Amino acid sequence: MPQQNPVILLHGLHHAPFIMRPLAKKLQAKGFDTHQYGYRSMRDGIKINSTRLNRWLEKHYNPEQPIDLVGHSLGGLIIRDFIVDYPQWQIGRCVTLGTPHLGSVCADYISQLAPVVVGRSYKDALDGTVAPLPEHITLGIIAGNQPFGLGQFVLRYHNRKLRQQNSPLLDDYLIHDGTVYLRETQLESAADHLILPVSHTGMLMDATVAEQTAYFLTNGTFKR
């Protein structure tokens, strides 16, 4: 196998680095050098977390050395912000898992009803206002369609409201992973988009997700 770029994995909201360990172990078994990067998902906003990611990378890597980035949920948004704010880094390929690139309806509701639950991760991130993806970045998106997770109750409420309003948008909000709608994971500038039968958190333990992540990091497209 040719030499692979180091792979930095970022967890999502309310999680810690260990949540990415099952995926990291599967990638390591395929020859990848991985690191599970941790950040404060609620206490700090996306800009602070991007800055700290940059500082950590400066301590451990050379900006001229290509790196690959994999982010789950909010972690994918931090990756996007980091890429825009720190263009000196040579980014190989990126994969996001269940990331709400267009913003999160679930986070919208929670930020209004119980803002402490999403902390500072809402503004400039989960609200859908992350800077556009630069054209030179090769991004692969994996989304789930199994509606398991605490967020499903918020999404069911949202769908009931759309039905009551006879909203033409309802068809766009029928499929989700228990936290994030399928439509929220889409990004026109992405190189590829793959839907798998996994839930929002379950995808981190799924063997197929790991296989497809590894395939994209190697080939720039998902295996069909």
Question: pLDDT by residue (tens digit) across 51-74?
Answer: 999 999 999 999 999 999 999 999
Domains of the chain: 7-103+120-143+184-219 (3.40.50.1820)
pLDDT at site 171: 85
Question: Does position 132 have pLDDT exceeding 80, yes or no?
Answer: yes
* Tens digits of residue pLDDT in 101-128: 999 999 999 999 899 999 999 999 999 9
Mean of the per-residue pLDDT values of the chain: 95
From the centroid of its chain, how far is CA 9? Answer: 10
- Residue 2 pLDDT grade (very low, low, confident, very high; cuts 50, 70, 90): low
pLDDT at site 169: 80
pLDDT at site 3: 61
What is the Cβ-side half-sphere exposure of residue 75, based on CA atoms within 13 angstroms? 29
Contact yes or no for 125/49 (Cβ under 8 A): no
Which region among 22-26, 29-33, 110-114 has the lowest average model confidence (pLDDT)? Answer: 110-114
Q: Tokens in use for 52?
A: 């700290």
By C-alpha distance, which of 6, 154, 117 is closest to 70? 6
**Alpha-carbon distances of 195 from 120, 161, 173, 179, rounded to whole Å:** 29, 26, 15, 15
pLDDT at site 162: 86
pLDDT at site 217: 98
Q: Could you give the percent of the chain with pLDDT greater than 70?
A: 99
Contact yes or no for 165/113 (Cβ under 8 A): no
Strand partners, 50: none
From the centroid of its chain, how far is CA 137? Answer: 15
pLDDT at site 199: 98
